[in-house]
A = this chain, B = another copy of it.
Amino acid sequence: MGEKAERTKEAILWEAGRLFAEKGFKEVTMSDICERTGLSRGGLYRYYSGTGQIFSEILSRQYTVSERLERRESARVILEDMLRNLEEEILEKDRSLSLAIYEYASLGNEELFVCLNQRARKRWVSLIEYGMETGEFRQVDPEQVSDVILYYYQGLRMWSRVLPFDRKTAKRYGDTVRQLLGG
């Protein structure tokens, strides 16, 4: 795929993401996405066949760590990069996909979420095990800490639209994870 096509796809995912955050999954149509991106119907369908495909692509783009672990980078440095990302996301209230995710899952797509959750968990468990091995993290139950990281984040994302959040709320999230890993 050429560079221009890549840029168009990026723009579609970005604008669609905002729409899903605003309206949930069910109420967003391909026409809405055309309108936001300025693409024609033909232009949009060249890249995606429907809103479900766009939505699952948005969700599937996760931070990957495996290459960094293979390069034996510092577990602490990787952790800080991941936490910085998550802390930023927590503050992006208008891009919270919680409701859309819930709707999409309820439409019979539970399997996708089971799979995404397993991937996210595997990523965290592997980082935690690696950090314990290098001595940068203290000895913990990686599954337990991964649960905190994943569900605490989801709770924050869900409520960010309703409750008054500030940078402190996001920072406390990162601090708790750091403390659990022995920061």
Q: A115 to nearest B CB, angstroms? A: 10
Q: A60-89: which residues lie under 8 A (CB-CB) from chain B?
A: none
Q: Which residue of B lies closest to A168 (CB)?
A: B143
Against B, the Cβ 8 Å flags (1 = close, 0 = not) of A73-112 are 0000000000000000000000000110010011000100
> Could you say which residues of chain B place their CB within 8 Å of the CB of A175?
144
A interface residues, tally (CB under 8 Å): 33
**Interface mask (A132-155 → B, CB under 8 Å = 1, otherwise 0):** 000000000101100110111111
Residues of B within 8 A of A105 (CB): 161-162
Complex CA–CA separation, A169 to B150 (angstroms): 12
Across the interface, which residues of B come within 8 angstroms of A159, CB to CB? 113, 117, 151, 154
CB neighbours (8 Å) of A172 from chain B are 141, 143-144, 147
CB neighbours (8 Å) of A141 from chain B are 172
A159–B153 Cα distance when bound, in Å, is 12
- Tell me whether B163 and A114 are in contact (CB under 8 A): yes
When the two chains form their complex, are residues A113 and B151 in contact, meaning their CB atoms are under 8 A apart? Answer: no
